[in-house]
Amino acid sequence: MTNDEHTDATGTMSPSRLTQFEAEVGKLKVTGGGANPERLGSWWGIGLTILGFVVAIISFWNALDSGANNTDTELRSQIFAVIGVGIAIVGIAIWVRNSLTRYLRYWIVRLVYEQREQTEQLIQALRDGK
């Protein structure tokens, strides 16, 4: 095996090695099922974000409609609007965390695979040098 066989000029995996990598990732079956906590967490994050913004918009609208004489209702509505925005921020944070986890899992598998390829190339270069 030559170095040209494994990597191209940009340092990425060769087509044959990339095909082998994609087959290995396909065998992992990381896309599956209800037991996937990142997918479930992403859905919870999206749901909380939508719920938070709906609560905030309804509360803000209620504060606008409360009138100038009803300060208590206006303050309660503003507090609920802030709580709604807080729920939306938590939902966004949960979504980002779970989305990054899924991406980084794929990235780390690819990194390990490329490190194996580089190790094989180093071993081959050392054998050719003797």
Dig out the tokens for 43 from the structure.
């859905």
CA distance readout (Å), 105 to 5, 35, 69, 110: 27, 16, 56, 9
Give pLDDT, residue 40.
86
Q: Evaluate whether residue 33 is within a structural domain.
A: no
pLDDT band at 87 (very low <50, low <70, confident <90, very high): very high
Q: Evaluate whether residue 9 is within a structural domain.
A: no
Chain centroid to CA 83: 25
Give the integer Cα–Cα distance in Å for 22 and 4.
Answer: 20
Give the chain's domain count: 1
DSSP 69: S
Q: Evaluate whether residue 3 is within a structural domain.
A: no
Model pTM?
Answer: 0.60
Q: Evaluate whether residue 27 is within a structural domain.
A: no
Domain extent, residue 124, equals 39-129
Q: Evaluate whether residue 104 is within a structural domain.
A: yes
Q: Evaluate whether residue 2 is within a structural domain.
A: no
Q: Evaluate whether residue 23 is within a structural domain.
A: no
Q: Evaluate whether residue 34 is within a structural domain.
A: no
pLDDT band at 106 (very low <50, low <70, confident <90, very high): confident
Give pLDDT, residue 103.
82
Dig out the tokens for 35 from the structure.
């037991």
